[in-house]
Chain A
Amino acid sequence: MRDKAHPFPFDTESKLVMEAFMKATGARLDQARREVGGGGDVQRFSHGGSWQSHHSYAPDRVDQMQTIKHETRLGVEDIMEDQLQVIERTAEEISSSMADSYAKAFYQMLSNTCEESGNVIDGSAGSLGEQMLKAIEQVEYSVDRNGQVSLPEFRMHPDLAKRLHSDPSLRDPVLLAKAEEIKALKTAQALAEEASRKSKFRCREQ
């Protein structure tokens, strides 16, 4: 807030323009966040800095919310030189840096969860194909709201992704057949577990 009066400040108008800018930047951030994951089922809380997920694997644990923030600086010179590109640059800077922070927090959370549950594999033993097969074996498939099995999604470093395309162990027919076999088994297991889960609801015949 300024201490003294300003000639034709356009305060109210400027506030609305900034709101529109932040809304557009927010939409861009949402898009980036959805690409990382976890954007489809957003939960909104009105109060509190912590939550307890009673349906999770650790129902008595109270988690603290994390704040992701980014500060950007806008030079007065850019405005004085009528640099309209500053809009795109600032929006990109805010949304990409926030999305990066979100991605880091997201993968950290995944990593922590895997460490806690012991669901990790040793990346130094065996061929890449064998490691991938082991990973597939250790993952449980889930079933979505429409009853469709969701296949696991692999997130990896770009270097590892390159290796996936070139590593010969991943083209071994035996390994591919084994992977298909595991996939079929896991799908059947997921559907059976989903049926078992749904059967726990009471129905009138019971």
Chain B
Amino acid sequence: MAKVLLCIGCDDYQSLKKLTGAERDAISIHTALCTGPLSSIQPADTYLLKSPARHDLDATLLQIQDRYDEIESFTLFFAGHGGEANDSYFLCLSDTRGDRLSTTGFALSRLFEYFNELKAAHCNVIIDACHAGGMVSNLGILLKPEVIGKAKTFGVSFFVSSAADQYAGETRRGGHGTLALLKVLDGEIDTGSRARMLDLVDMGRPAAQYVAEQTQGRQMPSVWGVNLYGHMPLFSNPHAADNPASSLLGLTGILPTSLAGQAISSHSAELYTLMFAPEHELTPDKLFPVLIRFVDRLAEIPNSTGVFIGGIWQSLEKSTGRHANSFSRVELSATCVALLLQSSHKDNTARDCIEGLAHEIVRDVERLLCAIVQGLHENPGSLCCHGIPDLFYLPQRISRILGWAGAAMHLARELGIREAGLREALEQLSVLLMEHYASTCAGMSEDEAPYWAAFLTSIKADDLNGLGELVVSMLINALVEHDGRLARPLLPAEDVYAYLKARADKDSAALSTLSNSPSETLALVLLISGRHSLEEELDYNLASLDHAHLNIFIPQSYLDFGVSFVPNGINHVFQIGQKVWTVADVVQRWEAVCKPQMDSDPSLRDPATRIGAICASLLFPNRVPWFLLSEQ
């Protein structure tokens, strides 16, 4: 399939103020995108229009429609006047009149009608316009339903840079936005990405930043994009480095007319709704239910789920930097991994995508651990941020940080990559946690269980200055103090205060309604205490846990570990004081019954499935990756 480029530069206006740099900008972008070793567009598939009238643009678009049956990506560059009228955005061509913009301009919605008929999988729209009306445009006007609604069947990316006096002030060198994009294309501006290919949003964000700096904030281009059919790169990355994650970007797109393409486009409104959501709403619990429906539709179409999810990841990862949760990129990558879990054993693109995302997770976690260490050096209290609610959430925050650190160590081992950087960051973090958070790091909620399982199984007993032993001791103390029960998994925030108050008041009746029995944390503590030489200590405390129930849930297949309710599997229930008087009693049944159940599960033999199951348990913490203990 072809990648088509249409560049329009309009200087010679009949009734609007003439410009002098727009045609040159169009020529520069045309040259940069279709010549040279980094280009991915063939010169034969490019079109250049200098100061066209409306009928010229219509004729060219019709000609493109006639020539191609299908297009992989269509890139439109426009430099010239642009303007808003009646809440719509118009490109001003040579015969456009400022006082008749809506009838003599070329509406963006009209352009989208052409895109729709072109059967393009993806459209890149680059507008570097001088505003006819002197207004600074915003993305809202471009993303109006009457425009974007027409994009139901294709992915779209925008880079829109416009200012009232752009060409008046920049006639010698070109428009600010165009100049910035050209600097990205020739490598002068480093996007920070080391991937093999860049898409328009990859290029647009640093270019927008550059424009904002150059204009002292007077001009800030808008950048936005959504991939429907996989990642749609536009240009090779001048700063590409050979990294394993680049395999993510090597995935080719899905044909919109193919079975997979139809499965996506017929429900694309759901995807657009998701992509329009503010960043803070793009959390795993919001993304997963929507995206899993697409994954289910693609399940029987070979090699489509990995491409689709890879494209979604590319669309969303760029906005994670603005999320209030610094781990949002890790959670996004893990969500995508968990979405691919059910395809992990049968689909090569799913497996490749999982491995690529796992690399991203390992790299991100290492970077985040270093940032947390630095933050703690500057302010030892920096892990607290909410006062009273942190009495509940601080142990969860710490368990999540260490859980993702442990998960990253497991992922690094699965991928066969170095874990030295991670280990060093964890080493530094452990010192600070032992010094400042030794009395509050664990033992509040059942939600901590999968994180502690991932963390405690990733380290050796004597690693990290005894942090593992501290965590297990704290869990034992918390369980002994509260009859073997912690806060219920996924306890709603509105019940958290009542739980804290009940714990403070030692109100066992109130606690029992908000706590969980049987406890998986208690099972974890029993099974892992031996590694930290705490088995005997726990034995002596078991009488205090008399009658407490514990549970080990093992699914029938770990391929199902990502769904909200795992229907098939066995809850292995034990009761302290009924055949369980020592740690060894549980360990014996674990060895005799639980481990063989996991040993006979073929899904666990696949590294991609193990990676997916780890990610699922850390995203949805009402399930524990018990197989990590089995591997000890």
B is bound to A: yes
Interface of B is mostly: mixed
Among B536, B543, B551, B580, contact of A45 (Cβ-Cβ < 8 Å): B551
Q: Scan A32-57; emit 1 where CB is below 8 A from any B CB, else 0.
A: 00000000011111111111111110
Chain A residue at minimal CB-CB distance from B622: A46
**Considering only CB atoms and an 8 Å cut-off, how many residues of chain B contact the other chain?**
37
CB distance from B287 to the nearest CB of A (A): 21
Among A46, A62, A203, contact of B553 (Cβ-Cβ < 8 Å): A46
Q: Scan B534-568; emit 1 where CB is below 8 A from any A CB, else 0.
A: 00100110110011010101010000000001111
Task: Judge whether B539 and A51 touch: CB under 8 Å.
Answer: no
CA distance A68 to B578 in the complex (A): 29
Among A44, A53, A145, A202, contact of B546 (Cβ-Cβ < 8 Å): A145
Do A55 and B593 contact each other (CB < 8 Å), given the known contacts A45-B553, A47-B569, A202-B542? no
Chain A residue at minimal CB-CB distance from B488: A44
Q: Scan A176-206; emit 1 where CB is below 8 A from any B CB, else 0.
A: 0000000000000000000001101111100
CA distance A62 to B573 in the complex (A): 10
Among A52, A197, A203, contact of B572 (Cβ-Cβ < 8 Å): A52
Task: Judge whether B568 and A49 touch: CB under 8 Å.
Answer: yes
CA distance A204 to B547 in the complex (A): 20
- How many residue pairs link A and B with beta carbons under 8 A? The number is 93
Chain A residue at minimal CB-CB distance from B513: A42
Judged by a CB distance under 8 angstroms, whether A75 is at the interface is no
Chain B residue at minimal CB-CB distance from A55: B578
CB distance from A45 to the nearest CB of B (A): 5
Do A43 and B579 contact each other (CB < 8 Å), given the known contacts A48-B553, A52-B573? no
CA distance A54 to B518 in the complex (A): 13
Among B540, B565, B568, contact of A203 (Cβ-Cβ < 8 Å): B540
CA distance A200 to B539 in the complex (A): 11
CB distance from A39 to the nearest CB of B (A): 13
CA distance A18 to B578 in the complex (A): 42
Task: Judge whether A50 and B569 touch: CB under 8 Å.
Answer: yes
Judged by a CB distance under 8 angstroms, whether A59 is at the interface is yes
Among B536, B566, B571, B580, contact of A55 (Cβ-Cβ < 8 Å): B580
CA distance A173 to B543 in the complex (A): 43
Task: Judge whether A55 and B542 touch: CB under 8 Å.
Answer: no
Task: Judge whether A51 and B542 touch: CB under 8 Å.
Answer: no
- Residue numbers in B under 8 Å from A203 (CB-CB): 540, 543
Chain B residue at minimal CB-CB distance from A53: B573
- Residue numbers in A under 8 Å from B542 (CB-CB): 201-202
Judged by a CB distance under 8 angstroms, whether B516 is at the interface is yes
Do A50 and B543 contact each other (CB < 8 Å), given the known contacts A55-B580, A201-B577? no
Q: Which of A43, A44, A54, A56 has the most CB of B within 10 A?
A: A54
Among A44, A45, A48, A202, contact of B568 (Cβ-Cβ < 8 Å): A48
Binding site for B on A (CB under 8 A): 41-56, 59-60, 62, 145, 197-198, 200-204
Supply 14 A–B pairs (Cβ within 8 Å), ascending by A.
A43-B517, A43-B518, A44-B488, A45-B551, A45-B553, A46-B565, A52-B570, A52-B593, A53-B573, A54-B589, A55-B578, A55-B579, A202-B540, A202-B542
